[in-house]
Structure 1
Amino acid sequence: MKKKIAIFGSTGSIGKNLIELIKKNKNDFEVILLAAQNNTKLLVQQAKLLKAKNIIITNSTKFEKVKSKKFDFKIYSNFNQLNKIFTKKMDYIMCSITGLDGLEPTLKSIKYTKKIAIANKESLICGWNLIEKELKKNKTLFVPVDSEHFSIWSCINANKISNINDIFITASGGPFFDLPISKFKSIKVEDAIKHPNWNMGNKISIDSSNLMNKVFEVIEAKNIFNLSMKQIKILINRDSYLHAIVNFKSGYSKMIIHETDMKIPIFNTLYDDKKISELKNLNIKKLNQLNLSYPDNNKFPMLNILKIVPDKFTLFNTVIVSLNDILVDLFLKRFIKFQHISEILFKILDSKKFSKFKSVKPNNINDIIKTKKIVQMEVKSNYNHYYE
C-alpha cells in the first residue's frame, strides 16, 4: 500500500531533496498535499509531476493568480483547511517551512499524521513544548531531520535518555574557521554565504559562518532529547563527515557518519529497511582525517549564547531566534557589518527588558508571536540608524 504523504515547504531545499527521493520511488507514495509560499511556478510543476491531490499557496496574491487557472489538483490559500484536505490520516508529513511561520502549520498538522518529520529549527527551538504536547496527545511519531539531530535520534534508538552521559554535534567551522580575527571586520556578504561543504540558502549560510547555527542545534537537542545544556558539546569536523557522537553512561559511544547530502537523513525518515539508490562506499580517507577540535569562542562569540540559555524551556529562545533573524537580514541587506550581528545581539540579550524572558514559559503560539513582535520593535526603535 502506498504511503500517504504531505510536504510543507516543498519548494525549499529540504522539500526539493524529498521530492527527488519520491521521484525515484514513485510506487511507494501517494502525494496528498504540497505547500509553499512564493515559488508557485515550481510548486505547480511539482504537483503535476507527482500527481498531488492538493496544494496550498500562502501568498494571497500568487494564490489568486494560480487559482484562476484549471488544474487537476485542488488549491487552498492557508492551513486552516487541513480538515478538508486530510480525510484520512497521513502516513508521513514533512514540515520544512522556514522561520517561525512554520510553527503554526506544524502544530495544526500533528493530529493528521502517524509520523511527522520536522526540519524547521525555529519551531523546535521556540515551540517545542507546544509541539511535544500535541505529539503526546495524538500519539504521533516525531523524527528530526537535521543531520545532527537525526544522527542523535538514530544513536539513541531503544536506549533511554537517562542512559546518556553527553552528546557531541559537529560543525564544519564555516568559511571563516581559518581566517584571523583581525580580518573579521572586512567580511562581506559574498564571503559569508560561501559554505565550504553544504549548499544552503543565504540565511542559514550566514548562521553557519558565525556558528549561530550550532547554537540553535544545541538548543534543539536540549529540547528534543530532554538534556541539560552542559550535556551537549560542539566539535569541529571540517569535512562535515561526522555528524554526532553519543556517549552512554555504560562506557560505550556511538557516532554517525555520512556524506554531505541531506537526502541521506531525509531518506531514513521515510524508510526503515530500504537501500538508498545513490549509496556511496565508506570514505576511509575522511574517516582517517576527522581531526576533531573544539571551536574558538573568541573567534565565534555567538557560542557564548549557550552560557546564558536556561535549561528550562522559556520564551528567551524566541528572543534569540527573532533577534538573530532581524540582524542577519540587516547584514544581508548590507545595513550592518558582520561583527555587528553578535555585538547588537548580546547588547539586547543582556538588557533587563529581555533577560526576564528566561523565566517566562510560552503557553501558546500567541505568546511566541507576541515576543517576536516585541523584539522587532526593540531593534526598529533603538537601532533605526542601521536602516538608513
Structure 2
Amino acid sequence: MKLNLAILGSTGSIGKSLLNIISNDKKKFNISLLTANSNYQLILEQAKKFNVKNIIITDKKCFDLARSKNKIKNLNIFNNFQNLEKIFKKKIDYVMSSIVGLDGLVPTFKIIKHTNKIAIANKESIICAWNLFKKELKKNNTEFIPVDSEHFSIWHTLRNNSKDNIEKLYLTASGGPLLKVPIKKFKNLKISKIIKHPNWQMGAKISVDSATMMNKVFEVIEAKKIFDLKYNQISIFVHPHSYLHAILKFKDGMINFIAHETTMEIPINNTLGKFKNDQIKFKKIDVNKLNNLQLSEIDKKKFPVVNMLNNLPANDSLFETVLVSANDCLVNLLLNNKITYLELIEKLFKIVSKKEFIKYKFIEPKKITDILNLNKILKSKII
C-alpha cells in the first residue's frame, strides 16, 4: 500500500524537507502533484526523480519555460489551481501545504476536498481564514495537522488529552537575530543582520518576522484559533536555544514541557503517520540545554509588536488580514531597502491604528474573496 500525496510549494524549505524524508523509500509513496511559483528547474528535477505526473507552476513566464524545456514524458504542466478536478479523480491520502504567504490561501482551501489529511505550514491561511477552513475541513471530513514546530508540538501532546483541559499555553520564541543587539543599534541595522537567524534556516521574509517578533504574534493567533483558546490563556517566553517549543499547563495541575531538536524534519516526518521515515537519526536528549533553558519574558520595549496582541478581537475577523497584509507589504519594502527596520515597526502601528482598518475587527470573513479583496486594498495603500 502506498501513500498518495501532493505537495503545495515543493521547492520551498518545507517541501524540500518532505521530499528528502520520503526519498529513502520512494516505493511507499505516490506523488500526484507538486507545485511551485517560479523555480521551474527544480520542480522539473523533482518530478523526474519522484515520477510525478502533474505539476503546477503559477508564474506564467516560468510556466512557459518549463513547458519548452520539459523532457519528461506524460508530465502534465499546469499554470494554475483551476485544474485540481482534472488532477484528482478521487481523494488522495495526504497533502502538505507549504506555499508561503497569502499566495497559499486559495490553493490550500481548494485542495481540502481532495484529500483525507492536510498538513498546513501556511500560517497566513490559518490566521486569516480559520473559520472558513474549519467549515471546509468538517464538510469534507478532512483531518488537519498544523506543521509549525510549536503548534505541531501542542497538537501531538493533545492527542491523549483534551484542549478543554488547558489552563495556560506558553509558546517559546528564540528572540531571533536581534535578541542580543542593543536597541540603540536598531537605527543602523543591515538586512544581512536582520535575516541571520541564530537557530533556524529560514527564508528572508519569515526571518524578518522573527527579528521583529511578528512571527510570534502570528503564532499566538494561530494557537488561539486552532486550539479554540482565549488570548489571555496564551503567553510567550523567550527561549534562545529553540529546544523547548511549548509548555502546556493543564487544569488538573499537570505541566507538559514539549521539546525537540531545532529541525523541522521532526514535525514534517510525524505528519506522515505510519508512513513516517523511522530511519532518520536524531540526537540524544541535550541535558545541557534542559539544565539551562534561559526562559524569560519578552522585552516589549525592544519588540513592541508583541503589544498588538492586546488589541486583537476575540472573534474571527478581517482585522487579522489587515495585520498579515500590512506586515507582508512592509517586510517586502524592507527587503528591497525602501524602508528601515524601525520604519517598518512605526508604519505597521500606524496602519493598524487607522479607523478605516479598525472597522474590520467587527467584520467576519464570509468567503475567501473577502480576504483577497482586503489584501488588494492594503497593498494599493502601502506599496
CA gap 1:287/1:273 in 2 versus in 1, 3 angstroms: farther
Residue matched to 1:159: 161
Residue matched to 1:71: 72
**CA-CA distance at 1:276 after TM superposition:** 4.7
Among residues 303, 307, 314, which one is paired with 1:304 in the alignment? 307
Code of the aligned partner of 2:29: F
Do 2:231 and 2:314's aligned partners in 1 also have CA atoms closer than 8 Å? yes
Code of the aligned partner of 1:49: K
CA distance in structure 1 between the partners assigned to 2:163 and 2:247 by the alignment: 14
1:42 aligns with 2:42: yes
Residue matched to 1:325: 328
CA distance in structure 1 between the partners assigned to 2:76 and 2:333 by the alignment: 38
Determine helix, strand or coil for the equivalent of 1:5: strand
Do 1:155 and 1:255's aligned partners in 2 also have CA atoms closer than 8 Å? no
Do 1:2 and 1:27's aligned partners in 2 also have CA atoms closer than 8 Å? yes
Residue matched to 1:267: 269
CA distance in structure 2 between the partners assigned to 1:374 and 1:158 by the alignment: 43
Residue matched to 1:55: 55
1:338 aligns with 2:341: yes
Aligned length: 380
**CA-CA distance at 1:273 after TM superposition:** 7.9
**CA-CA distance at 1:254 after TM superposition:** 1.4
CA distance in structure 2 between the partners assigned to 1:340 and 1:238 by the alignment: 26
**CA-CA distance at 1:63 after TM superposition:** 1.3
CA distance in structure 1 between the partners assigned to 2:380 and 2:78 by the alignment: 32
Give CA deviations for 1:87-107 in whole Å, capped at 9, x if unaligned: 221111001011111010111
Code of the aligned partner of 2:108: T
- Comparing 109-118 with 265-274, greater Cα deviation is found at 265-274
CA distance in structure 2 between the partners assigned to 1:111 and 1:156 by the alignment: 25
Do 1:115 and 1:141's aligned partners in 2 also have CA atoms closer than 8 Å? yes
Give CA deviations for 1:235-291 in whole Å, capped at 9, x if unaligned: 111010001111111110112211111111000101258535122211111111111
1:195 aligns with 2:187: no
Residue matched to 1:369: 372
Structure 1 length-normalised TM:
0.96
**CA-CA distance at 1:44 after TM superposition:** 0.4
CA distance in structure 1 between the partners assigned to 2:9 and 2:143 by the alignment: 20
Determine helix, strand or coil for the equivalent of 2:52: coil
Code of the aligned partner of 1:45: E
Residue matched to 1:217: 219
Residue matched to 2:243: 241
Which runs of structure 2 are paired with 1:4-15 in the superposition (5 Å)?
4-15=4-15
Residue matched to 1:231: 233
Code of the aligned partner of 2:117: K
CA distance in structure 1 between the partners assigned to 2:378 and 2:95 by the alignment: 31
Code of the aligned partner of 2:50: L
- Comparing 146-155 with 275-284, greater Cα deviation is found at 275-284
Matched residues, percent identical?
A: 52
CA distance in structure 2 between the partners assigned to 1:25 and 1:107 by the alignment: 29
Residue matched to 2:85: 83
Among residues 99, 106, 111, which one is paired with 1:97 in the alignment? 99
**CA-CA distance at 1:329 after TM superposition:** 0.9
Do 2:28 and 2:275's aligned partners in 1 also have CA atoms closer than 8 Å? no
Determine helix, strand or coil for the equivalent of 2:202: coil
Code of the aligned partner of 2:82: N
**CA-CA distance at 1:159 after TM superposition:** 2.2
CA distance in structure 2 between the partners assigned to 1:330 and 1:322 by the alignment: 12
Code of the aligned partner of 1:12: G
Do 2:41 and 2:66's aligned partners in 1 also have CA atoms closer than 8 Å? no
Name the Cα RMSD after superposition: 1.2
CA distance in structure 2 between the partners assigned to 1:25 and 1:157 by the alignment: 27
CA distance in structure 2 between the partners assigned to 1:25 and 1:240 by the alignment: 30
Do 2:3 and 2:275's aligned partners in 1 also have CA atoms closer than 8 Å? no
Structure 2 length-normalised TM:
0.97
Residue matched to 1:21: 21
Among residues 358, 363, 366, which one is paired with 1:360 in the alignment? 363
Determine helix, strand or coil for the equivalent of 1:101: helix
Among residues 102, 108, 111, which one is paired with 2:110 in the alignment? 108
Residue matched to 1:349: 352
Code of the aligned partner of 1:369: L
**CA-CA distance at 1:28 after TM superposition:** 1.8
Code of the aligned partner of 1:27: K
CA distance in structure 2 between the partners assigned to 1:278 and 1:27 by the alignment: 21
Which runs of structure 2 are paired with 1:268-287 in the superposition (5 Å)?
268-272=270-274, 275-287=278-290
CA distance in structure 2 between the partners assigned to 1:288 and 1:217 by the alignment: 26
